[in-house]
């Protein structure tokens, strides 16, 4: 009887030891963050006092400003915590306590969002400067993973951080330990009361896809907005400027003409110009070949031209001008019976110009090459008349 009782006790003790080892050993082996029986995560946090991060522990010069005290996770986020929050399946009991790896930054941000919803906390990722401070205090190894330097993949896992709103303390405090006098304890400080249960696997996967899609869409929208802001800054680099110049042109007809140019420009703009030779003398009667006039040898022309052009301003001090328009010229001869128009010597055609304008204080100076293409009536020959146009005027910047 005594032997049977002793054997029963041995079996009971062995069973108890096996149960304890199966439940306790993984926690002792990996010592990671855990999930309590009521599905509320318990994450061990350590306090890092304020410091000034340096590139080297003995360096005299610092690489960044002071960092306010904060909390950083004692361990990396485990697969068990990840699966509990994201509603996915575990890979096995032992693997549950290993760090979750090979997750993207978008997935990590979604995990932190769901974790904060579940726990009513404000977890986040530590910054590069905070990681450096944790290294200087001896809480972390002297390696800053690329994930905290802006990388997109947490291939070796990741840790969480949390802001500290109180005054800095010289002592390191553990969050989630068993000390009743800790600043934050598991029961009192980690208020993990979410009314809804964790999302199911299907819901979590769908939510992950939708949320990641939303994050990518927001990132693209921010990128488009950034490009739009750059374009706007480029177009508005110079103030709106209105200019007005008086011009004179010599064209190899030979002919002199006079006129004006007016326009506005920022980075891009427009202008309108008009030219004439102010020569309207003469009786514009037809030159009849049946009537013989005695010509005096004096002739006069009447010239009109209008152009519309584009202005490009690569620099604050000068702008480039290119324009096109239409011109018309008449020729008059003097005889003993007055002035007569000779239709066969009249011509018209398209005109063009290319030049530069300098904006110096409120003064505008311009120089252009101009030309006209026309058909000479008697011999039906297309000719070109080239010229040089100079201008001087005023330039008024308008603040907008």
DSSP 58-83: T-SS-SS--B--EEEESSPPBHHHHH
Q: What is the pLDDT of residue 151?
A: 75
Domain limits, the chain: 1-25, 31-199, 240-398
With respect to CATH, is domain 240-398 assigned 2.40.40.20?
Answer: no
361: left (phi over 0), alpha (psi -120 to 50) or beta: left
* Predicted confidence (pLDDT) per residue in 164-194, tens digit: 876 544 443 344 433 333 333 334 333 333 3
Q: What is the pLDDT of residue 8?
A: 61
Long-range Cβ contacts of 286-289 (<8 Å, 24+ apart): 286/340, 286/341, 286/343, 287/333, 287/340, 287/341, 287/342, 287/343
Q: What is the pLDDT of residue 106?
A: 86
d(CA 64, CA 72): 19
CB contact burial 190-229 (16+ within 10 A = b; e otherwise): bebebeeebbeeeebeebbeebeeebeeeeeeeeeeeeee
Spatial neighbors of 160 by CB under 8 A, at least 6 apart, are 43, 45, 72, 73, 77, 112, 115, 123, 124, 125, 126
* Predicted confidence (pLDDT) per residue in 389-399, tens digit: 999 999 988 87
Closest CA to 135 of 54, 32, 31: 54
d(CA 308, CA 368): 14
Q: What is the pTM assigned to this prediction?
A: 0.45
Residues 191 and 121: beta-carbon distance below 8 Å: yes
Residues of the chain falling short of pLDDT 50 = 1-3, 5, 18, 22-32, 34-40, 57-62, 168-205
């Amino acid at each position: 009887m005594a032997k049977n009782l002793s054997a029963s006790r041995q079996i009971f003790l062995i069973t108890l030891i096996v149960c304890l080892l199966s439940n306790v050993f993984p926690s002792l082996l990996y010592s990671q963050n855990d999930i309590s029986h009521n599905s509320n995560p318990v994450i061990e946090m350590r306090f890092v006092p304020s410091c000034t991060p340096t590139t080297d522990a003995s360096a005299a010069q610092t690489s960044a400003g002071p960092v306010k005290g904060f909390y950083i996770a004692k361990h990396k986020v485990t697969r068990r915590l990840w699966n509990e929050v994201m509603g996915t399946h575990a890979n096995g009991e032992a693997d549950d306590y290993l760090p979750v790896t090979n997750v993207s930054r978008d997935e990590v941000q979604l995990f932190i969002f769901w974790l904060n919803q579940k726990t009513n906390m404000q977890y986040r990722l530590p910054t590069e400067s905070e990681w450096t401070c944790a290294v200087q205090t001896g809480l972390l190894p002297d390696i800053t993973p690329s994930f905290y330097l802006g990388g997109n993949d947490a291939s070796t896992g990741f840790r969480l951080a949390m802001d500290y709103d109180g005054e800095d303390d010289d002592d390191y405090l553990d969050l989630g330990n068993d000390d009743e006098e800790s600043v934050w304890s598991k029961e009192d400080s980690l208020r993990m009361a979410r009314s809804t249960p964790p999302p199911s696997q299907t819901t979590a996967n769908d939510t992950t896809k939708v949320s990641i899609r939303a994050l990518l869409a927001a990132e693209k929208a921010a990128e488009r907005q950034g490009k739009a802001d750059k374009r706007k800054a480029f177009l508005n680099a110079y103030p709106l400027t209105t200019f007005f110049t008086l011009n004179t042109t010599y064209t190899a007809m030979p002919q002199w003409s006079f006129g004006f140019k007016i326009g506005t420009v920022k980075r891009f703009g427009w202008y309108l110009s008009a030219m004439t030779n102010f020569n309207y003398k003469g009786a514009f009667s037809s030159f009849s070949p049946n009537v013989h006039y005695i010509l005096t040898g004096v002739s006069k022309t009447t010239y009109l031209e209008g152009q519309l052009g584009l202005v490009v301003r690569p620099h604050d001090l000068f702008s480039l001008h290119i324009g096109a328009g239409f011109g018309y010229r008449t020729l008059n001869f003097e005889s003993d019976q007055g002035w007569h128009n000779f239709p066969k010597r009249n011509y018209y055609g398209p005109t063009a110009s290319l030049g530069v304008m300098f904006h110096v204080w409120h003064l505008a100076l311009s120089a252009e090459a101009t030309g006209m293409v026309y058909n000479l009536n008697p011999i039906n020959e297309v000719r070109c008349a080239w010229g040089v146009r100079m201008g001087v005027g005023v330039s008024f910047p308008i603040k907008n």
